[in-house]
Structure 1
Amino acid sequence: MLFYQLGEYFQRRAVHASRRSIQSLLNMKPTMARVLGPDGEFERRPEDVAIGSVIIVRAGEQVPMDGSVVIGSSSLDTASLTGESVPRQVGPHDEVLAGMVNLEGRLEVRVKRSATESSLQKMIALVEQASSNKAKTEQMITRLARVYTPIVVVLAAIVAFIPPLFVGNLEEWVYRALIFLVISCPCALVISIPLGYFGGIGAGSKRGVLVKGGEYLDVLAEVKTVIFDKTGTLTTGRFEVTDVTTSGDVTEAELLTLAARVEMASTHPLAKAIVAKASKTTAFANITEDPGYGLTATDSTDTIYVGSARFMRKLGHSIQDEQMGTSVHVMRNDRWLGRIELMDTVKEDAAAAVAALKRLGYHTVMLTGDRDEVATSVGLKIGIDEVKSELLPHQKVEEVEKLAARGKVAFVGDGLNDAAALARADVGLVMGGIGSDAAVTAADLVLMNDAPSDVVAAIELSQRTKRIVWQNIVLAFGMKALFLLLGVLGLASMWEAVFADVGVALLAIGNATRLIRSN
């Protein structure tokens, strides 16, 4: 029991140290703020920038502090904070948050909050708070250790010294007490139960499911509700062309090629998807960008416009945009040629994984920061029971807490915006291949293959591990109870006592190793 407790102590220390590294992991990413002063631009640490200062954020840079746009227009990648798959368009007076990534034009941002009050710092605090609120589970053997050893020692003392007071023969009863102690030695439990968990952890690692501790397999086996993030978890996080609609003046292939010749000048995720879908072509020679709206190309006497419906309206044309996905419109001179629909694609095994969970009796929920129309469409496509959209990180935590009030919950996510929810859930699973450092650190299990089907595999593994652990508990206690009774009655010698100790331990160990051999 002493060695087992020492092992548990070091395991807890390792897990807690992993959680505390959230802050250090984020601090490893140096962030400088480019401040606009009377004499030009100069760099400062965000902690040294005063509220009200104007900072410059160039294309490709991360927004270092919360504020509002003063000059400039661009699109921002907000996936790390909100999980929204479509970049957000911003212009003057729009709010931007620390952690967002500027994809296009130059922005001048007036700082509204100090670095210590930024969205990133609040995210870290939220993760730490959620971790402290997370229910701690104890394995049954740990609770048993508090009472088992004292009870056995007291009983052995009673066997050794109480009967001789009435029937004499102290030596005989001391011998029976020693047999009692040997038989009651908890080696079978102390060795086979941790081995059962290690077997489960080892079997999971072969499949790419990394478990940070045996206690999380216990909790996962008791889960009633499985909660998913959307972008990067159930979907790939990459855009693909899903539909092409033309006015009839050009074919679908011609529209794609025309758009691609313009979009080749952009690094926007939507532009990359269109270029990948179109046939090989060359870019127009003269292309200009209107940040946050679209691109304009000139070719001899023609002018081609490619961009959002907002871009078309800016040019004076009324365009009806689609709501289920993201639309890129193409116009030549003053004539609308068509629309290209793009959507974040669902992972191949997402629907099958959700269906398998529902067959096993689990309630499935999706929490996302994406738009309601997109979230509902994805939820219907893969068969999720309940969908909640347009949630900020703290709102995800609130939803997790509501669901946790009904029974144990597992949360599956991948991004920085999921870190707090992963920490607050009874057990958190993260997509390790694409997951952020904070999310991987906050989670209890890491799914290295980024496959939703591995969630089902992890749950089945946890249930199999729990079954084997309980088989060992019943075997050990059943055999020991039998031989203890025989020992007290004088029907078992030290040889039987040794078998009840070592023999049962070997049987239990053999049973535990089935987990490792099964994968």
Structure 2
Amino acid sequence: MSEKKEFRVDNLSCANCAQKFENNLKKLPNVEEVKVNFGASKVAITGQVTEDEIDSAGAFDGITVQRSAESKVEKRIPVYKKRENVVALIALAYVILGYITSYVYPDNTFIPTLFFLIAIVVGGAEIFLAGFKNLAKLEFDMKTLMTIAIIGAAIIGEWKEAAVVVFLFAVSEALEAYSMDKARQSIRSLMDIAPPSAVIKRDGELVEILTEEIQINDVLIIKPGEKIAMDGVVITGKSSINQAAITGESIPVAKDIGDEVFAGTLNDTGALEVRVTKRVEDTTIAKIIHLVEEAQAEKAPSQQFVDRFAKYYTPAIMLIALLVAVVPGLVTGDWATWIYQGLAVLVVGCPCALIISTPVAIVTAIGNAAKQGVLIKGGIHLEELGHVNAIAFDKTGTLTRGIPEVTSVKMEQFDGINPLAFIAAVEADSQHPLADAVLSYTHVNNLEIPKSSNFQSVTGKGVIAEVEGKKVQIGSIRWISEETQVSKTTQDEMNLLQLQGNSLIVAAIDGKFAGYIAIADQLRDEAVSVLQSLKELGVKHLFMLTGDAKPTAQAIAEKLPLTDVKADLLPADKLVEIKKMKEDYHIAMVGDGVNDAPALAAASVGIAMGGAGTDTALETADVALMADDLEKLPYTMKLSKKTLTIIKQNIIFALGLKVIALLLVIPGWLTLWIAIFADMGATLLVVMNSLRLLKIQKK
């Protein structure tokens, strides 16, 4: 059986290098499948292969690997120690010496040329080595083109310019490495969240061990101010937990016995004992990191287009360079000038900036979203979100809080008893979904609840029980109206409350009408502002899909800026509605990821609420809002639209600068250093423009 291994990759700073590294790995014997993830600096290999063989495949650019399980975090190297920075500084020193000596000794060309030659060798040794190897295989990347250009410049006596070009290229490499490192910081910060070890209780003793060695059902001891190392359930203690690292919530969440806690979250106040429920590789934060890295590896539609375009672009540039070098030379006889111009065209035409234009934006956006508690499972979904012009919402738990609350209470006068307390006594034995709302209400109002007995359920009508010797009936309006006299005024009040979306609990005590309690699922406080924000972002159609009855759905809908409401829908009906909407709109579906799973999967983009700890949401949805926070939705839409804009800008920058530089060939103004500036400038402009996505935050 073939073995699949994952490695983290060091020194992977160039999209072209990543592609070449992948191609080299595919050529190794016994390797069946290879996937290099440029954004996450990872490689997955299926087959029999050693680390030495993998390192040899990346030797062309100093690319090395480490086992993922052994080292989660890429080694940090100080800026002044980084190889590319040291090389650039040494090359600069010799270029400066070359210029100084050329002015001090204007008649002596040997000394300045020697310094320029040393700058070329020091700054360009690795370039030349890789370039010659590529030439032997007829592979044409930036280093091949640079090798041809620098050697050509030296042959025609342009030593000074060749040295400057080598230095600028070294600077370009250093800046690109720094920029990509910056883009990957979001992932790296996620990896740093969970502590590498934890204190556990085993055989009555406290021991500190590595998280990899912690087993399910081990008990973690967590002191105030400590990070939680593993997912688990609280078995002793109470505390508030800062879950911002997982869910993006800024307010700590209260935790009690039986509550779930996540690895990487911070224990604020109380001491806790937590029973471990997942191994280190299965924790929520581990899943998030894995899904984000996989998402960054997935090619978005615009990236697929750029990759196809680059296949034709590079040969076209090489043909133009050849024509520039040969045709004017044949006409004018000035071979030196036009060969030089042809070499400059080769350098300026390198597609580095174009190839990196999309992935660097996708990597940055998905990483930023993860830090904000939004998990976007691929560049394709990020782009699709930017095209969404309609959103369908589930009602319960999405637009509403999902917890029924008492909205109105009316009780009749009885001698010596409180009807509300008697109703609560019966509801305490009930399994009805509205019973909890009644009990919560009586608890908040500090009512003393007596005990009930002889509890009976009357199918389709309600319940009967005895409380302090009195017969208590609780049920529907129709049933209680049949059993006792209810005034027309009260009947009208109850009918109006039902039309407003309330469910009613009506009661009678010893055959006399006792009163009613109106209960409704309350609208989220932020629902109206969120929907308004979505409209401002260009989402023109907002729908609500719910299984609730039409009056209840309509009552909620009247408070919201919705386009349309569909009520009385089963999960299968929601699926049908989404399929219909897809014919007319780019539709996103927002739900809880469980009973809405079919609709989430069918929508152009499925968005699940409250994904933290919910495997269904993480697996089914294209986007998971890790906290139960609807306000993350406008942020996510804004991020996706901004990403689309930046990708378009990047492609324009990458091609526009090169077109401008190529036009300088016509008057013969294109030089090697202008060519390298254009290439370096386009690459850096693309990366820096993409890093602007890090500034987009949830308001």
Q: TM-score range by the shorter chain?
A: 0.5 to 0.7
Report if the CA contact (8 A) 1:430-1:446 is conserved: yes
Partner of 1:496: 674
Identity %: 36
- Alpha-carbon distance in 1 for matches of 2:396, 2:323: 64
- Alpha-carbon distance in 2 for matches of 1:273, 1:214: 43
Does structure 1 residue 338 correspond to structure 2 residue 505?
A: no
Partner of 2:690: 512
Deviation readout 1:142-182 (Å, 9 max, x if unpaired) = 45335323433333343344444444555654443332222
Does structure 1 residue 450 correspond to structure 2 residue 631?
A: no
Q: Structure 1 residues 375 and 436, CA, compared in 2 at 3 Å: closer, same or farther?
A: farther
TM-score (norm. length: structure 1): 0.68
- Determine which of 326, 329, 346 is the counterpart of 2:506: 329
Partner of 1:219: 384
Q: Structure 1 residues 436 and 385, CA, compared in 2 at 3 Å: closer, same or farther?
A: farther
Report if the CA contact (8 A) 1:414-1:440 is conserved: no
Letter in 2 for 1:495: W
Partner of 1:54: none
Structure 1: segments with no counterpart, 5+ residues: 15-135
Letter in 2 for 1:289: Q
- Alpha-carbon distance in 2 for matches of 1:162, 1:144: 26
SS in 2 for 1:492: coil
Partner of 1:299: 467
Letter in 2 for 1:473: I
Instruction: Count residues in correspondence.
Output: 396
- Alpha-carbon distance in 2 for matches of 1:400, 1:409: 8
Partner of 2:647: 469
Q: Structure 1 residues 241 and 188, CA, compared in 2 at 3 Å: closer, same or farther?
A: same
TM-score (norm. length: structure 2): 0.51
Q: Structure 1 residues 325 and 413, CA, compared in 2 at 3 Å: closer, same or farther?
A: same
Q: Structure 1 residues 450 and 145, CA, compared in 2 at 3 Å: closer, same or farther?
A: farther
- Alpha-carbon distance in 2 for matches of 1:450, 1:144: 42
Q: Structure 1 residues 281 and 215, CA, compared in 2 at 3 Å: closer, same or farther?
A: same
- Determine which of 428, 432, 437 is the counterpart of 1:268: 432
Deviation readout 1:175-225 (Å, 9 max, x if unpaired) = 433322221222223334322222222222232222112222222122211
- Alpha-carbon distance in 2 for matches of 1:306, 1:314: 12
Partner of 2:353: 188
Report if the CA contact (8 A) 1:430-1:447 is conserved: yes
Q: Structure 1 residues 300 and 428, CA, compared in 2 at 3 Å: closer, same or farther?
A: closer
Q: Structure 1 residues 285 and 254, CA, compared in 2 at 3 Å: closer, same or farther?
A: closer
SS in 1 for 2:595: helix
SS in 1 for 2:463: strand
- Higher RCO structure (Cα 8 Å, ≥6 apart): 1
After TM superposition, give the deviation of residue 367 of structure 1 in Å: 1.4
Instruction: For 1:131-142, list aligned pairs within 5 A.
Output: 137-139=301-303, 140-142=305-307
SS in 1 for 2:448: coil
SS in 2 for 1:282: coil
Letter in 2 for 1:263: E
Report if the CA contact (8 A) 1:223-1:409 is conserved: yes
- Alpha-carbon distance in 2 for matches of 1:9, 1:289: 64
Q: Structure 1 residues 201 and 335, CA, compared in 2 at 3 Å: closer, same or farther?
A: same
Q: Structure 1 residues 182 and 303, CA, compared in 2 at 3 Å: closer, same or farther?
A: same
Report if the CA contact (8 A) 2:477-2:506 is conserved: yes
Does structure 1 residue 207 correspond to structure 2 residue 375?
A: no
Deviation readout 1:99-134 (Å, 9 max, x if unpaired) = xxxxxxxxxxxxxxxxxxxxxxxxxxxxxxxxxxxx
Q: Structure 1 residues 421 and 162, CA, compared in 2 at 3 Å: closer, same or farther?
A: farther
Q: Structure 1 residues 393 and 167, CA, compared in 2 at 3 Å: closer, same or farther?
A: farther
Partner of 1:236: 401
Deviation readout 1:345-392 (Å, 9 max, x if unpaired) = 211111111122233442111112221111111111122121111223
Structure 2: segments with no counterpart, 5+ residues: 1-14, 24-33, 41-299
Partner of 2:317: 152
Deviation readout 1:284-325 (Å, 9 max, x if unpaired) = 141413165543332343111223346547868889664332
Partner of 1:459: 637
Letter in 1 for 2:548: D
Letter in 2 for 1:290: S
Q: Structure 1 residues 518 and 383, CA, compared in 2 at 3 Å: closer, same or farther?
A: closer
Report if the CA contact (8 A) 1:221-1:466 is conserved: yes
SS in 2 for 1:381: coil
Report if the CA contact (8 A) 1:414-1:434 is conserved: no
Deviation readout 1:389-413 (Å, 9 max, x if unpaired) = 1223333233223322223122211
Q: Structure 1 residues 434 and 310, CA, compared in 2 at 3 Å: closer, same or farther?
A: farther
